[in-house]
Structure 1
Amino acid sequence: MEEEEKEEVKLEVKKQIKFLQRSLSVLPYSARSLDVNRMTILFFSVCGLDILNSLDTALRPYEREQIIEWIYSQQVLPQHIAGPDACCGFRGGGYLGVPFDSTKHSMPVPCDTAHVAMTYTALAVLIMLGDDLSRINRSAISRSLRNLQREDGSFQSMPFCGENDMRFVYSASCVCHILDDWSGIDVEKAVQFIRRSQGYDYGIGQMPHLESHGGSTFCAVASLSLMGRLDSAFSPEERRGLARWCLRRQVTGFQGRPNKPSDTCYSFWIGASLELLGWFQYVNKEWNRGFLLSTRGKMVGGFAKWPESHPDPLHTCLGLAGLSLNGEPGLNSLDPHLTLTRRASEWMDTLHRKWRTQS
C-alpha cells in the first residue's frame, strides 16, 4: 500500500518534458485565439524545460537556433516603425505576416508595434537559450518604455492600447533589469502606483481601488524587488500584512483571492511573493506539493489549473516553478524575480558584467 501511494505522487518528469516539447510545435485548435501571444507560450514551454533541467536534451542545437531566429524575426526595430505611436521591442508573433527570417524584415509594416509583455518574454527566452543579446537594440527599447509609462506611474502594454495595470509595470521592470538599463522607467512614479494599489487587507490589486489578487501581488512585489525598493516602499506593518495576506491564500495549494479554490499558477505567484518577502518558510510544503501533483495530466503530462482538467503550457511551467520553490528534488532552482532559473539568471549577470566593461 505504501508503494502504491509513493507511485501516485511522482512528478513523472519524462511526461512533463514530452508535453512541453509538443507545446513548442503544436497546440490544439482551441488555442487558435492565442496566436498573438505565441511569444508567451514559447516562454512557458522553454522555462518549464529549463526548470526540469532538460533544455540540452529536449532541444537539438538546430531547434534552439530556430527558436532564437524566430524570436529575432519578431523584433520591432526603429527602421520598421511606420507611425509615431509605434514602439520598439518584440511583438507576440507573426500575425502581421512578417517573414520567419530575422534578416529579411526591412520594410515598415502598418500598425506594427512591440508589446511590453512580449518584449519581456522574448528577452527571457533568449537568456534561457544562451543568446548574448547582441542583436537587441537596447537603447531603442528603453526609449520606447518611457513612452509607455503613464502619469500615474503605470504602464500601457502598447502605445495605442488603453490597457494599463500591474502586469505591465512588472514586464517593464523585467525588461529594464534584463537590459541593465533603468532609464526607461520613472521609478518613483512606479513605486507610488504600487503603493496606491495596496488594499485595506494589505494585498495588492491590478490598479488602485481594485480587489487584491495573487497575480498582481506578485507583479508588484517582484517589481519593487527588482527596483531595490521592496524594503522602503512599504512600512514594516504593511510588509507583514502583505506577507500574512499571502499566507492566508494557502488552502491546500494556493488561491488567487479569498473564497476561491486552489489554482496551480498561484503556487508560484503567491509562493514567489512569500519567497521575496522572506516568509516562504511558513508555507505547508506537503499540502502545496500534494495539490500541484494532483493537477498533472495523467495521460499526456503537463499540469492543469485544477485536478481533472486540461493541462496547458502556462500551468505546467508555473506548477513546476511552484515545485521548484517548494524544494522538489531534481528541479533547477529559481530566481523568483524574473521567473527564470538561477542558471539562466547567472548567464544574464555575465552579460551585465560584459556590457559594463564595454561601456
Structure 2
Amino acid sequence: MAEDDLLIDKHAKFLLRTLKILPGSSGSADNQRITIAFFAVSGLDVLGRLNLLEDMREDIITWVYNNLINIDTDKKSRCGFRGSSTLKLEPGYSPTHIHDFAHIPMTYTALAILVILGDDLSRIDRENIAKGISVLQLPDGSFKDAAEGGENDMRFLYCAAAISSLIDLRTGVDVDRATKYISESISYEGGIGQGPWLEAHGGSTYCAVAALSLLDSLDRLPQSKIAGLKRWCVNRQISGFQGRPNKAEDTCYTFWLGAALKILEGSNYIDWSEIKNFVLTTQDPITGGFAKGTDMSPDLLHTYLGLSGLSLAEPPLLPSLNPVDPALNITLRAKQHLLSLHKQWKS
C-alpha cells in the first residue's frame, strides 16, 4: 500500500473529536480522561497535526494542571496527577479529601501531554512527584497504581520509570529491586509476564524492556536473556503482531512489540511492509481511526498505538509520520523539548 492509503486527515479528525467529546463507548473511563487525552494529543503529534490544537493548547495545559496534586499536606506522599477532576472537590494543588490521590499511569500521561504541548513543567514539584511514586513501590520491586492500593504489576513499574525519566529524577525508584522483579518475570518462553510465573505477553514485555532502558539497566540482563527476548518478540509476527502465541494479530502490538524490538536493537528482523499492510486494513475509511483488527470498530487506543508503531519502521515506510521514541512513547520532537528542560534543571 502507498502512503496515500494512510488517511491522515480522517485520523486527525477522529483524534480531535475524541479529545473534545468523550465517546459514549468510553463513558466508563471518565476517571482516566488524562490517558485518553494523551492518546489524542500524542496521536496528533505523530500525524504532524499538532497545529490543530493551537487554539486549545492553553486550555488543555490548564485542565491537566487542574488535576495535579502537588502539595504533600498530610505527609502521605500522594503527589502526582488524578485521572480527571471528577473527585476533586476544591480548587488548588492539595488533596481535597481522603480518597483524592494521584494515579501512576495518569501521572505519566499527564506529564507527557505537558511535554508534547511545550509546557515548561514549572508548576510541578519534582521532588514531591518522586516521593509520590516511591511510596508505590512494593518489597518485590513492582509498583501499585495508587497510594490507597490497587493492582501491582509491570505496567506500573514502567510508569514509574517513565515518570522518573520525564522529571529527570530517579529517587522514586529502587532500581535494584525493580530490575530484580523484571528479571524474575522472564518466562520459560523468553518473553516477560506481568510478574513472576505469569504468562509472557507483548504488553508486559514492552513495559519491562522499556523500563530497563529508561533506568539504564538493560545491560544487567544476560545476553542469553536478551537473545530470548528478541526471539520471542520476532516470533509474534504473523502479518501484523499478535500479543501471545496462538492469538490473532492486533494493531496495538505494532507499538508494544515494535518498540520492544527497537529498544533491543532487533527491529531489523521485523517485516515492516507486512506490518504496515495489516495495520492499514484496520483503519476506518469513513470515521477515521484504527481498530484492533480488520472489520472491527476503531477506538482511540488502537488508533494511537497503530500510528506510533508505524512511525518506528526502519527505513520509514510512512515518512509523513513523526517518529516516536520507543521507550517514552512520545515523538522525538517532543523528546527534544524534554531534554532542553533537563538541561535547564541542571543549570
More helix by share: 1
Do Structure 1 and Structure 2 share a fold, with TM-score over 0.5? Answer: yes
Cα distance between partner residues in 1 of 2:287 and 2:233 = 32
Alignment counterpart, residue 64 of structure 2, candidates 68, 71, 86: 71
CA contact under 8 A between 2:88 and 2:96: conserved in structure 1?
Answer: no
State the distance in 1 between where 2:257 and 2:202 align.
6
Matched, 1:177 2:171: no
Match of 1:53 in 2: 48
Quick check: 1:91 aligned with 2:82? Answer: yes
| Equivalences for residues 126-141 of structure 1 within 5 A | 126-141=114-129
Q: 1:187 — aligned with what?
A: 175
Structure 2 Cα separation of the partners of residues 30 and 285 of structure 1: 32
Contact 1:86 1:112 survives alignment (8 Å): no
Alignment of 1:292-303 (within 5 A): 292-303=279-290
Aligned AA (2:337): W
SS at match of 2:161: helix
| 8 Å Cα contact 1:86/1:113 also seen in 2 | no
Question: 5+ unaligned residues in a row in structure 1: which ranges?
Answer: none
> How much has 1:138 moved relative to structure 2?
0.9
Shift, 1:147, TM fit: 0.8
Cα distance in 2 for partners of 1:295, 1:149 equals: 38
Q: Partner residue of 1:355? A: 345
Between the aligned partners of 1:106 and 1:154, the Cα distance in structure 2 is 27
- Residue 255 (structure 2) pairs with residue 268 (structure 1): yes
Matches within 5 A, 1:100-179: 104=92, 108-179=96-167
Contact 2:118-2:337 at 8 Å conserved across structures: yes
**What is the percent sequence identity of the aligned residues?**
47
Moved over 2 A (4+): 83-86, 103-110
Partners of 1:72 and 1:34 lie apart in 2 by: 19
C-alpha deviations, 1:324-349, integer Å up to 9, x for none?
01222211111111101000001000
Q: Distance in 2 between matches of 1:107 and 1:259?
A: 46
TM-score, normalised to structure 1's length?
Answer: 0.93
The change in CA–CA distance for 1:52 and 1:189 in structure 2 (over 3 A counts) is same
Structure 2 CA distance for aligned equivalents of residues 173 and 340 of structure 1: 14
**2:214 maps to which of 204, 221, 226:** 226
Cα distance in 2 for partners of 1:291, 1:222 equals: 25
Shift of 1:85: 4.9
Contact 2:69 2:94 in 1 (8 A): no
Aligned to 1:42: 37
CA contact (8 A) 1:289 1:323 kept: yes
Give the Cα separation in 1 of the matches to 2:154 and 2:95: 33
- Aligned partner of residue 238 in structure 2, secondary structure: coil
Contact 2:77 2:128 in 1 (8 A): no
Alignment partner, residue 222 of structure 2: 235
1:148 alignment partner, SS class:
coil
Q: What is the Cα deviation at residue 106 of structure 1?
A: 5.7
| CA deviation after TM superposition for structure 1 residue 95, in Å | 1.4
Alignment-derived partner of residue 336 in structure 1:
326
Listed one character per residue, the Cα deviations across residues 28-54 of structure 1 (whole Å, up to 9, x for unaligned) are 222110001111100000010000111
In structure 1, C-alpha distance between the alignment counterparts of 2:96 and 2:82, rounded to whole Å: 14
- Please name the residue that 2:336 is paired with: 346
Q: Which residue of 2 aligns with 1:310?
A: 297
Question: Measured at CA, do residues 84 and 106 of structure 1 come closer, stay the same or move farther in structure 2, by a change above 3 Å?
Answer: closer
The one-letter code of the counterpart of 1:313 is L
Distance 1:54 1:6 in 2: 20
Give the direction of change, closer, same or farther, for the CA distance of 1:186–1:104 in structure 2 (3 Å limit): closer
Q: How far is the alpha carbon of 1:12 from its aligned partner?
A: 1.1
Q: Which residue of structure 2 lines up, in the alignment, with residue 285 of structure 1?
A: 272
Where structure 2 has 5 or more consecutive residues not aligned to the other structure, the ranges are none
Deviation at 1:105, TM superposition (A): 5.7
Deviations 1:2-26 (A, max 9, x none): xxx759x710110011000001111
Would the aligned equivalents of 1:73 and 1:98 in 2 still touch at CA under 8 Å?
no
Q: Distance in 2 between matches of 1:170 and 1:98?
A: 30
Distance 1:107 1:268, change over 3 A: closer
Q: What amino acid is aligned across from residue 158 of structure 1 in structure 2?
A: A
The count of residues paired between Structure 1 and Structure 2 equals 344
TM-score by length of 2: 0.96
For residue 13 of structure 1, the aligned residue among 5, 8, 16 is 8
Q: Distance in 2 between matches of 1:350 and 1:105?
A: 26
Change (3 A) 1:281 1:106: closer
Give the aligned CA root-mean-square deviation in angstroms.
1.6
Matched, 1:29 2:16: no
